[in-house]
């Protein structure tokens, strides 16, 4: 028998995210997709159900291949709240197995959370939030709402987050030239937003000038930082 949340809890879970909490990323065919970072989902679960009132557990990890021999990481997990359980699945290319598994963990959790109503509006094409985010993205950077300067506490790397206390992490670096970790060759040492590893596409852009790739981009899809201009930080 599944637990039924009271109307107050259900309303907290399904409350719409604000534009300040959402981001845009590139999707298929040049489209733009709205999403929220994982920490907003975790905060919503904690605020609605309480720390220890829910759990996320990885139940299956597989490494499938497609017909061309390309390898992938597939992660399936279960999000439990009381007697209610919803699952989420994510598949990522296996360029770096550990990194791909971490990204799959993040996306699978968010996909399971939508079945509780969290961020469900972001999957609806007619939601006003999409137009609001696209309008915000068209504004000059100095007219956009400033991003948060502090990263949320991060969970330990183990699979069950139900009752663990979050580990403190240093504040995020602001995305400005003074704080971007630039290497001697002009490369970016790490993401200025989350301090994670970045893709270096400089050589690929020389070989494929028609491709719409950023020069540098954070490997964490939940971060989505990118540098489209070499003079832009």
Whole-number mean pLDDT of the chain?
77
Q: How many residues are given for the chain? A: 233
Residue 228 has pLDDT above 80, yes or no: no
What CATH number does the domain located at 7-171 have? 3.30.390.80
Which residues, 6+ apart, have CB-to-CB distance to 217 below 8 Å?
198, 199, 201, 225, 226, 227
Instruction: Give the residue range(s) of CATH 3.30.390.80 domains in the chain.
Output: 7-171
Task: Give the dihedral sign, CA 98/104/106/108.
Answer: negative
Model confidence, pTM: 0.59
- Cα Rg for the chain, rounded, in angstroms? 19
> In 3-state terms, what secondary structure has residue 151?
coil
What pLDDT, on the 0 to 100 scale, is given for residue 123?
A: 82
pLDDT band at 64 (very low <50, low <70, confident <90, very high): very high
The vertex-65 CA angle with 61 and 66, nearest 5°, equals 135
What pLDDT, on the 0 to 100 scale, is given for residue 117?
A: 92
Q: What is the pLDDT of residues 164-203, one digit of tens each?
A: 444 443 333 334 444 455 566 777 777 776 667 888 888 8
133 alpha carbon, distance to own chain's centre: 16
């Amino acid at each position: 028998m599944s637990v039924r949340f009271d109307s107050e809890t259900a309303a907290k879970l399904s409350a719409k995210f604000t534009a300040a909490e959402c981001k845009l990323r590139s999707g298929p065919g040049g489209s733009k997709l709205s999403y929220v970072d994982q920490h907003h989902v975790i905060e919503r679960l904690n605020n609605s159900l309480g720390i220890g009132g829910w759990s996320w557990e990885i139940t299956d990890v597989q490494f499938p291949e497609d017909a061309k021999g390309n390898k992938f990481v597939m992660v399936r997990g279960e999000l439990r709240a009381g007697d209610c359980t919803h699952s989420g699945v994510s598949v990522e290319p296996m360029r770096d197995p550990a990194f791909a598994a971490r990204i799959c963990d993040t996306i699978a959790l968010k996909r399971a959370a939508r079945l509780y109503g969290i961020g469900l509006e972001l999957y609806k094409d007619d939601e006003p939030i999409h137009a609001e985010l696209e309008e915000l993205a068209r504004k000059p950077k100095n007219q956009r709402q400033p991003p948060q300067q502090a990263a949320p506490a991060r969970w330990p790397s183990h699979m069950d987050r139900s009752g663990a206390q979050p580990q403190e992490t240093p504040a995020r670096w602001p995305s400005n030239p003074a704080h971007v970790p630039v290497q001697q060759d002009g490369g970016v040492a790490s993401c200025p937003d989350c301090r994670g590893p970045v893709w270096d596409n400089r050589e690929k852009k020389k070989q494929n000038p028609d491709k719409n790739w950023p020069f540098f981009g954070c490997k964490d899809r939940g971060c989505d930082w990118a540098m489209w201009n070499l003079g832009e930080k």
